[in-house]
Structure 1
Amino acid sequence: MSEAESYAFVPGARSVVGAADTSDAEALEAGQTYRSSLPRGGRLYYRLRLTAADTAYVPVTAVPPADATVTATDGIRVSLRDAHGTSCSYASARFGAGLSPRPVTALGQRETGKALCQGAGTYYLLVERLDAQGAGTAATSGRWDLEITPATEPGLARAGATDPPRAWDSATPAPLPGRPRDRTGGTGFATARPLGQGVWRTALTPGETRFYAVPLDWGLRLHASAGLDGAPGHGYAGGALNLSLYNPVRGYVDGISLGYTGAAKSAALAPLPPVEYANRYAVPAGVTSVRFAGHYYLVLHLSTRLAGTFGQGPFEVTLRVRVAGRTHAGPGYAGSPEPGGVFTVTERDRAAALAGGTGGTGGPGPGGAGGGNRAMRLVAVGGIGSGTALLLVLGGWTVAARRSHARTR
């Protein structure tokens, strides 16, 4: 089975063919999901119609075949351009030191309020394949499948603060204690497994990628680390375990990569600020990307290179997730995003994160429409300290999950 077959694409995604130039580019619509493919050395265009008021996000996930031979610098580059060819933004995603084919995601975006790319009109998404020179084997020359999920964010009903955070608690917290609980991840963004605060364990074989979705409301912050258990064997595998974090529109936030010698090893993502609208006005990419509430995706990948030295596994991986802070109301949008609910966290989302749903989030914004964060807000505005508030709410969810489990036994 190829990696493209094992990746869970959004069900019902429409097939589109990328064009060699803008004149033949097929149209994409926000809130819809599309499948396409990218040949070696390919440069493909797609067309969007954008309003002047909405910020647009167009993430592209490239899925190479499982047997592809890749280099550290192979990957994709994505950019959004206006009708005159001016680039609004660009981003790239590469396979890195693990030298292992896996789904990689890059985000093109058009932000309102910026100097470039303003106004309503036609814009173009350009997706480029990055291939190392001279690596044209049969495996690398094959086409990579693409998943494209455009989204829009409306402007604010009233102007808000534009000052980015100047400081926050940037110390790495102590690792969460406790015995790990089993939680197998999904095989794509569409089937990302809900995950909440806790110590979680999964088993991966070389080449596998697993997706998790952590609901984060306004004012909350996420910290995560990943560890690879020890295994018999002697040698070294660079980039053996990769942990990446993406925001609700699949924009890259942060990532770590572990080298492996067979001894147990772990590493943590960089400390992040709480989720706030004003984060978008900051300079560091890791801050600007935590700009809205919604589901944040943790993606684990185990390199194929482990198999040659340490065997086929499976290898035990431990994921530690901490959610802290004090939730509050959102900024007050002037309209509705596409898809609906992409920047919303509901009570059902929080319960699933602790109880462990089976995934099936279905697109760039799991959780659906609605604003089910009333309970969290009631606790927050009651004047209880943030630590106590979180313990009370988490305790309530845990009791509810246990009662639900007891009824189904």
Structure 2
Amino acid sequence: MGRGDGARRRAAPGRAGTRGLVRLVAAGVALATAAVLPGGAALASGTPGYAFAGDAVPVEGANDPADAVALEPGAVHRSSLSPGGPVHYRVDLDAASTAYVSVTAVPAPGAEVAAADGIRVSLQDAAGGSCSSGSATFGAARSPRPVTALVQREISSGRTRCQDAGTYRLVVERSRTPDAPSDSWDLELTTTTEPPLRKDGATGTPGAWDSSSPEPLSGEPVNRPGGAGFAEAAPLGQGVWRDGLRPGQTLFYAVPLDWGRRLSATAELDGTDGRSGFATNALRLALHDPVRGEADAAARSYAGRRISVALAALPPVDHANRRAGGRTAGAMRVAGRYYLVVHLAAQVAEDFGEGPFTVTLRVRVDGAARSGPDYAGEPVPPGAFEVSAGDGPTAAGAAGSGGGAVMRAVAAGGFATGTALLLVLGVWTVVARRGGGARTTRHG
């Protein structure tokens, strides 16, 4: 969406015309606030919710493992989770492919959560033996946001458990069940399979790489609205990008990384004008791999002055990274769409207002692209571990105004006069920019 509406100049309205114009602006703003976002996420108290995949298949988790419904590889599923106990799903796997199952839990905007709240996920064989487990919590900010846990069944000559074809169990439960609030959380689940290599051990061990963090990119930021979920993550390439972020809101961006390519990223939050206060772990930046596993995350507290948070140094994408020690390096194991996820804690509104606040992403992609490993088959879904020309940002998208989901809500509501748009943009520019810093917390 461009900055101007291209409307022809008209004679200045009289007093009655001015009142009508004010009513028109108010109606447009109300329409933008009430609009429904892609994927069914609605604006609630000014904070956009999560955008689920439009083609997500609804499934119901079973209390009894015998009643579990199968998750189809390559598909996105939508379900729900109450605090009452674990729910079960079924995953049918062959004896050759490595499988990844991600679970994203989404509390309602404004939901009450504690630092230890979150989800626990485990993948088990038919006998109940554990193949993999994962967890995700909301952390010290106690801000409701989408949290994602990943489990996997990896085929390897050095493993004995979970190597057979058959039915596997996916178990999902809340981290804090005894005194958790009674509201249910929505779930988004994905299953991705990776074929084996034609020659076992063909990629060897990870090579040496420069573990120093590159300098963040400089330059003027380009407005780039973020998506409200993995399914509508806005594509990004190397560059400096900007959007507006409200307390409690989460933005999703997708960065295509080919084999041999390396990513570094920082997120900056502008300061406020004349307000004081403190919000713990207010700005959070996370990186998720193409199967949605969290590779790295860091957060920084906010006291009204400009802050910056950066990802840890990451190795180039390499199939051999799965043999590296540590979660972060191990996650950089496949090419594809990596996700930068930015969250502004809901408690920021208590001292600094509802925003939106200007957030700037500085994204660097370096390293020489190379051919990938020799797979003996295709992943599911097809192309999951490939980068195509269409994965980068478009010129039209990069020129779009900030505000992410709010801007898309205006468009969805059909308010085309441009008056409300200019009003909203004017409000956003009130936020002042100052230097400063606060403490950083590294997650994972």
TM-score by length of 2: 0.77
Q: Is 1:212 aligned with 2:247?
A: no
| 2:122/2:131 contact within 8 Å kept | yes
Q: Decide whether the 8 Å contact of 1:194 with 1:357 is kept in 2.
A: no
1:316-369: CA deviations, max 9, x gaps? Answer: 1111100000111010111111111110101222364996499xxxxxxxxxxx
Is the Cα–Cα contact under 8 Å of residues 245 and 255 in structure 1 kept in the other structure? yes
Tell me the equivalent position of 2:192.
151
Q: What amino acid is aligned across from residue 302 of structure 1 in structure 2?
A: L
**Does the aligned pair in 1 maintain the 2:102–2:190 contact within 8 Å?**
yes
Residue in 2 aligned with 1:122? Answer: 167
Q: Distance in 2 between matches of 1:313 and 1:157?
A: 53
**Kept in 1: contact 2:234–2:393 (CA 8 A):** no
Q: Aligned residue pairs: how many?
A: 354
Write the distance in 2 (CA, Å) between the matches of 1:252 and 1:98.
18
Matched-pair contact (CA < 8 Å) for 2:241–2:362:
yes
Supply the AA of the counterpart residue of 2:362: R
Residues 111-166 of structure 1, C-alpha deviations (whole Å, 9 max, x = no match): 001332111011011111112754x4xxx310000001111001112234454325
* Cα distance, 1:12 vs structure 2: 2.3
Cα gap change, 1:147/1:251 in structure 2, threshold over 3 Å: closer, same or farther?
same
Match of 1:300 in 2: 342
Taking the TM superposition and a 5 Å limit, the aligned residue runs for 1:1-400 are 1=43, 6-113=49-156, 114-131=159-176, 134=179, 136=180, 140-161=181-202, 163-165=204-206, 167-232=208-273, 233-350=275-392, 352=394, 356=398
Identity level (%): 55
Alignment partners' CA distance in 1, 2:394 and 2:336: 14
RMSD between aligned residues: 1.9
CA contact (8 A) 1:196 1:354 kept: no
1-structure distance, mates of 2:177, 2:127: 30
Q: Which has the higher contact order (CA 8 A, sep 6+)?
A: 2
**Structure 2 CA distance for partners of 1:16 and 1:355, relative to 1, 3 Å:** closer
AA paired with 1:88?
C
Letter in 2 for 1:169: D
Structure 2 residue identity aligned to 1:123: Y
8 Å Cα contact 1:41-1:131 kept in structure 2: no
AA partner of residue 20 (structure 1): N
Give CA-to-partner distance per residue, 1:352-407, whole Å, 9 cap, x none.
4996499xxxxxxxxxxxxxxxxxxxxxxxxxxxxxxxxxxxxxxxxxxxxxxxxx
- Is the radius of gyration larger for structure 1 or structure 2? 2
1:245 and 1:321 map into 2 onto residues whose CA distance is 12
Q: Is the CA contact 1:194–1:353 (under 8 Å) kept in the aligned structure 2? A: no
Aligned twin of 1:391: none
Q: Does the CA contact (< 8 Å) of 1:214 and 1:353 recur in 2?
A: no
How far does residue 7 in structure 1 lie from its aligned partner after superposition? 1.3
CA distance in 2, matches of 1:127, 1:28: 13
Does the 8 Å CA contact 2:236/2:393 hold for their aligned counterparts? Answer: no
Report if the CA contact (8 A) 1:75-1:92 is conserved: yes
In the alignment, the residues of structure 1 paired with residue 324 and residue 64 of structure 2 have an alpha-carbon distance, to the nearest angstrom, of: 34
Mark the runs of 5 or more structure 2 residues left unpaired by the alignment: 1-42, 401-444
Q: 1:398: which partner in 2?
A: none
Amino acid at match of 1:334: A
SS in 2 for 1:291: coil
